Amino acid sequence: MAERLLKVLLALVVVACLVYVFASCESFTEVELPKDQLTTNAVFEDKATADAAMLSFFAKMRDIGLFSGSQSGSAPYYLANYADEMDFYGDALGATTFFYNNALIAANTEVKTIWDASYNQVYAANAVLEGVGASVSLAQADRNRLTGEALFARALIHFTLANVFGDVPYVKVTDYNVTRSVPRMPVQEVYANCVQDLLASAELLQDSYLPANRTRPNKFAARAVLARVYLYAGLYNEASNEASAVINNVALYSNAANLSQTFLADSPATIWQLSPSTPGGNTQEALTYVFDFGPPTLSGLRQDFMEGFEAGDQRLPNWTRAVTDGTTTWYHPYKYKVNTDTGMAQENSIMLRLPEMYLIRAEARAHTSDFIGTQDDLNVIRNLAGLGNTTANTQEALLLAVLQERRSEFFTELGHRFFDLKRLGAVQQRLGSVKPGWDSHDVVFPIPEKELELNPNLSPQNPGY
Residues 266 and 324: beta-carbon distance below 8 Å: no
Q: How far is CA 68 from CA 285, 358, 404, 413, in A?
A: 8, 24, 25, 10
Going by pLDDT thresholds of 50, 70 and 90, the confidence category of residue 28 is: low
Percent of the chain with pLDDT over 90: 87
In a domain, 446, yes or no: no
Mean pLDDT of the chain: 92
Average pLDDT of the segment spanning 385-403: 97
Q: Which residue has the higher pLDDT, 38 or 364?
A: 364
What per-residue confidence (pLDDT) applies to 342? 86
Whether residue 29 is contained in a domain is answered as yes
Residue 151's pLDDT is 98
Q: How many structural domains are present in the chain?
A: 1
Rounded to an integer, the average pLDDT of 439-457 is 97
217, burial (CB in 10 Å: exposed 0-12, middle 13-18, buried 19+): buried
Q: Residue 34 above 90 pLDDT?
A: no
Does pLDDT of 11 surpass 60? no
Report yes or no on whether pTM surpasses 0.85. yes
**Residue 248: which pLDDT band, with cuts at 50, 70 and 90?**
very high
- CA–CA distance, 204 with 174 (Å, rounded to integer): 22
Domain-embedded: residue 299: no
Q: What is the mean pLDDT of residues 318-346?
A: 95
Domain that includes residue 87, residue range: 2-277+349-438
| Domain-located, residue 179 | yes
Is residue 451 in a domain? no
pLDDT higher than 80, residue 252: yes
**Residue 340 included in any domain:** no
- pLDDT, tens only, 210-231: 999 999 999 999 999 999 999 9
Question: How high is the pLDDT of residue 40?
Answer: 63
Q: Does 295 fall in a domain?
A: no
In a domain, 445, yes or no: no
**CATH number of the domain residue 223 falls in:** 1.25.40.390
The pLDDT of residue 170: 98
On the question of pLDDT at 29 being above 80, the answer is: no
Confidence of residue 27 (pLDDT cuts 50, 70, 90): low
Which of 278, 272, 11, 229 lies closest to 128 in space, CA to CA? 11
